[in-house]
Structure 1
Amino acid sequence: MSRTRIHNLSISLDGFGAGEGQSLETPMGHAGERLHEWMFATGFGASLIGAESGSEGVDDAMARRHEEGIGAEIMGANKFGPPGWQDDPEWRGWWGETPPFHTPTFVLTHRPWPPLEMAGGTTFHFLDAGPAQALEVAREAAGGLDVRIGGGASVARDFIAAGLVDDIHVVVVPIVLGRGSRLWDGLEAIERDYDVEAVSTASGVTHLTMTRR
């Protein structure tokens, strides 16, 4: 059976995975890019934004696990676009014509669109489905490889709460947001179901890896 994985999900010290006020100009709300500065500084992150180089080391090694063995991704509507993107027939996601997923990618929305085939192997499929049904569809598309739950925080929370996630990689960033979309609400005592490891790095972030027992 393929595994269901979360990778590089950055949260603040107070548990928010995105800030408040998401819009076309502020994809991560008032958090800006602060939750992801650690990743963009790595070699892996630099490759995503077209920078010439980035750091090596633990942060880079952890970030690169995002790619390994993934056959499909599931993401929430707010990761694909700003509020109201369903009303814009020209909207094709935040990432240009060559998104960084390179797999079938399933966007959860109550207003589905026809599939969008992009360059580089990514095809966006739009599903009005709950976590279990969406995972079943994504697993079939993944062809025996693993399925990545791409976020945002509310989607990750829903899949964790449903008991569907085998491996969780959360990156705790040393900032306080105060408001936004929080990951851990309603997930009391989930540590009982996972083996938890924590590694802090020189960048100031802490990588939490949680593997289902």
Structure 2
Amino acid sequence: MGAVIMHNVMSVDGFIADDEDGVGPLHDWYFNGDTPLTETDDPDYDHSEGAGGFRLSKTSAEYVRPLWNSIGVIVMGRHFFDLMNGWDGHPPTGDHVVVVSHRPKPEGWHPEASYHFVDDPIAAVAKARELAGDRIVSVAAGEVGAQILAAGLVDEVAIDVVPVVFGSGKRYFGSIGGMHRLGEPHVVVQGEGVLHLRFRMRP
């Protein structure tokens, strides 16, 4: 069974978006280099349908590419889904998306897309693991990610830290309560305008 990794880009003061859901310069590093995210630089993998259009530094591309290629399922909250309109049925990576929501999938919304709506975070992870098989389940950080982490279902925390201070906004770890200990970072990669970190959860 693949690992469950909580993942997002974050400001140095711990925010994944501002109070109005704006990301400001958090994603600038996806476009500040000359290395495409796909090894073949597939022209059909355009920005409207995935990760095309991204031009990262060589160092970041070498870190992000194998991680994204290993993801089978993305787990996200309904707010994120609504904000992005579910990437119009074309997630940037993975074959399936599980949305934690008490509301069903919008009627008529991309029936061909493998999007599953589950009303409980724990059940969402179980569904994602079933769909992912041996591949990674990527859990979007924020409130839903924090609930999944608090339930002890996260194996690793992956953070792309950008050198900007937001001051307020949507927190990477949401409104999680209590202390949760992470191990020493087992991945530390310095890109251009971003620091990639991965931590395993302590048992």
TM-score class, shorter: 0.7 to 0.9
Distance 1:169 1:111, change over 3 A: same
User: Which residue of the partner structure matches residue 123 of structure 2?
Assistant: 133
Residue 118 of structure 1 deviates from its aligned partner by 6.2
Aligned to 2:16: 17
Contact kept in structure 1, 2:88 and 2:110, CA below 8 Å? no
Q: TM-score, normalised by structure 1?
A: 0.74
State the alpha-carbon separation in 1 of the partners of residues 178 and 185 from structure 2.
15
Does the 8 A contact of 1:198 with 1:209 survive in 2? yes
**1:187 Cα shift?**
6.1
- Residues 75 and 155, structure 1, Cα contact 8 Å, conserved in 2: yes
Per-residue deviation, 1:56 = 4.0
Structure 2 letter corresponding to 1:157: A
Name the counterpart of 2:69.
Answer: 68
Gaps of 5+ in 1: 22-27, 83-91
Gapped regions of structure 2 (runs ≥ 5): none
User: Structure 2: which amino acid aligns with 1:108?
Assistant: V
Structure 2 residue 98 is the aligned partner of structure 1 residue 109: no
- Whole-Å Cα distance in 2 between the matches of residues 143 and 109 of structure 1? 23
Partner in structure 1 of residue 32 of structure 2: 41
1:48-84 Cα shifts (integer Å, max 9, x gaps): 6243x724422112222332332222111122123xx
Match of 1:10, SS? strand
Identical-residue share of aligned pairs (%):
31
Distance 2:200 2:46 in 1: 27
Distance of 1:198 and 1:176 partners within structure 2: 23
Q: CA deviation at 1:205?
A: 1.9
Distance 2:86 2:201 in 1: 32
SS in 2 for 1:155: helix
C-alpha distance in structure 1 between counterparts of 2:89 and 2:97, whole Å: 14
Task: Tell me the amino acid that sits aligned with residue 176 of structure 1.
Answer: V
Q: Following TM superposition, by how much is the alpha carbon of 1:112 offset from its aligned partner in structure 2, in angstroms?
A: 1.8
Report the alpha carbon displacement of residue 134 of structure 1 after superposing the two structures with TM. Answer: 1.2
Would the alpha carbon gap of residues 62 and 187 (structure 1) be closer, same or farther in structure 2, given more than 3 Å must change? farther
Return the offset for 1:202. 5.1
- Answering whether residue 133 of structure 2 is matched by residue 143 of structure 1, we say yes
1:78 and 1:152 in contact (8 A); partners too: no
Secondary structure at 2:87 match in 1? coil
Looking at structure 1, the residues matched to 19 and 3 of structure 2 have their Cα atoms a distance apart, in angstroms, of 31
> How many residues get paired?
189
1:201 to 182, 187, 190: 190
Report the alpha carbon displacement of residue 96 of structure 1 after superposing the two structures with TM: 3.4
Separation in 2, partners of 1:115, 1:141: 23
Q: How does 1:165-176 map to 2 (within 5 A)?
A: 165-176=154-165
Residues in 1 aligned to 2:93 and 2:195: alpha-carbon distance in whole angstroms: 25
